[in-house]
Amino acid sequence: MRFHFPIFEFPPEAEALRAEVRAFVTEELAAGRWKKGGDFASNYDPAFSQRIGARGWLGMTWPKRYCGHERTMLDRLVVTEELLAASAPVAAHWIGDRQSGPLLLRYGSEAQRTEFLPPLARGEIFFSIGMSEPDSGSDLASVRTRATKVDGGWTLSGRKVWTTFAHRNHYAIVLARTGDAGAQRHAGLAQFIVDLKSPQVNARPIVNMAGQKEFNEVVFDDAFVPDDRLVGEPGGGWTQVTSELAFERSGPERYLSSIRLVEAALACAREKPTPRVREALGRMSAKLMALRTMSLAVAAQLQNGEAPNLEASLIKDLGNAFEREQIAVFRALASDLPKHSDDYLSALAQTTVYSPSWTLRGGTREVLRGIVARGLGLR
């Protein structure tokens, strides 16, 4: 086989942590601190992020000297999958915890780590991803936002789009061009930590199809970025960006976007489940088990320092199709449900309207299939 998904199962300690997270979720819901809703990229609640930071559930794998908790990637996975399965409001801290923090740990300077990792781990500052531009989507290497060297730093000019929560977050990691690409398209790129509150950085929400302000256009009007905000080396941007991909594509957020709908339908059907509902829940469970096994395999490989980019892309494509399929299935079963709870109706509306974004964000379906095809030796 051309893919590698070695079986990994959680040890008993991990299950103790799972029980802890479940108890926390139950307590939060009972206290009415939040309602189930949205997904990892829309349900935004800074106070919630601070509470889980206080419990040690952010920056879980980072070194203690940066206020991390030196736990394993797999412990982190227990926490993230349980919070996603509960449709908890994780959007504020999601990007910083998943990829900006790990990026700084790997490529950032000591000063950057000391400055940014502790508040990230406490849930006090939040990060956005500044990659896409009006003319650069799937073809990310064609970005045109330019960083020009000046005394003591760089000036940034250009425009990013679809930058999720840039109007509320504190920083964005921006991919910009520092030099000409020349013959190699992927050369001449660099990543910068950009202060989104700076006066020369203007984030303007682009209202989405659901009527929500989540993603933004971000304009850099000769924004000054000090030297110490360059991440890694000028020219290293492409390698750095691609190193984030396995983290970005293999996690449970790629197959749990519609779990709330499934659980809400189950709750409505529980007293008198029809054979069709039982069958649908079973088919869904089977695929979920397969996806979760694959996702755990990738997490275990990441923990070992491997870079299973191919496997991660494969999981995202399969997972996005799965989460999309559940909407059709559990809408069609509406007449089999004895009642329609508010949770079911709102989950149905939310997942249906947001579903087109799932197969776009984080790499489109077509891009992912291209990566898988390359892994098969077809290109």
Partner 1 sequence: MSIAPVLATDPLVEEAASRAFSDLAEKWFAGKVTRENLLTAVEQLGFAEAAPGDDSGAWLAAAAIIRAQARAAAPIDMALLLATGDRAAAIAHDPSEYFCAATSPMPASASAHAALSLGRCLQIGAALGAALELSIRYAQDRKQFGRALAQFQAIQHSLALAAEEVAACTTITDLALACAEREGIGSPRLPALLDAAALVAGHAVNVVYDMTHQVHGAIGFTQEYALHRHSLDLLRWRDHLHLARGGDIGCAERLGDAALAAGSAWRAVTANMTPGATP
Ligand X SMILES: Cc1cc2nc3c(=O)[nH]c(=O)nc-3n(C[C@H](O)[C@H](O)[C@H](O)COP(=O)(O)OP(=O)(O)OC[C@H]3O[C@@H](n4cnc5c(N)ncnc54)[C@H](O)[C@@H]3O)c2cc1C
Which residue among 283, 332, 334, 339 contacts partner 1 (CB under 8 A)?
283
Sign of CA dihedral 350, 353, 356, 360: negative
User: Residue 37 contacts by C-beta under 8 Å, 6 or more apart in sequence?
Assistant: 43, 87, 89, 260, 346, 350
Nearest to 99 by CA among 171, 152, 167, 32: 171
Q: Binding to partner 1 by residue 305, rule CB under 8 A?
A: no
Minimum distance from CB of 142 to partner 1 (Å)? 19
Minimum distance from CB of 263 to partner 1 (Å)? 6
Minimum distance from CB of 1 to partner 1 (Å)? 6
User: Cβ atoms within 10 A of the Cβ of 37, count?
Assistant: 15
Nearer to partner 1, 24 or 66 (CB): 24
**How far is residue 13 from each of residues 16, 55, 76, 81, measured CA to CA in Å?**
5, 17, 13, 16
Q: Which residue is nearest to ligand X (CB)?
A: 137
Minimum distance from CB of 167 to partner 1 (Å)? 32
Binding residues among 316-375 for partner 1 as defined by CB under 8 A = 317-318, 366, 369-370, 372-373, 375
Binding track over 233-262 against partner 1, x by CB under 8 A: --------------------------x--x
Minimum distance from CB of 379 to partner 1 (Å)? 6
Q: Burial of 315 by CB count in 10 Å (0-12 exposed, 13-18 middle, 19+ buried)?
A: buried
User: Cβ atoms within 10 A of the Cβ of 277, count?
Assistant: 20
Binding residues for ligand X, per CB under 6 A? 128-132, 137-138, 162-164, 215, 357, 360-361, 364, 366-367
For residues 111-146, one letter each, b for 16 or more C-beta atoms within 10 angstroms of the residue's C-beta and e for the rest, the string is ebbebbbbbbbbbebbbbbbbbbeebeeebbebebe
Question: In this structure, what token pair is assigned to residue 170?
Answer: 């504190």
Minimum distance from CB of 317 to partner 1 (Å)? 6
Interface with partner 1 (CB under 8 A): 1-7, 9-12, 15, 18, 85, 259, 262-263, 266-267, 269-270, 273, 275, 277-294, 297, 311, 314, 317-318, 366, 369-370, 372-373, 375-379
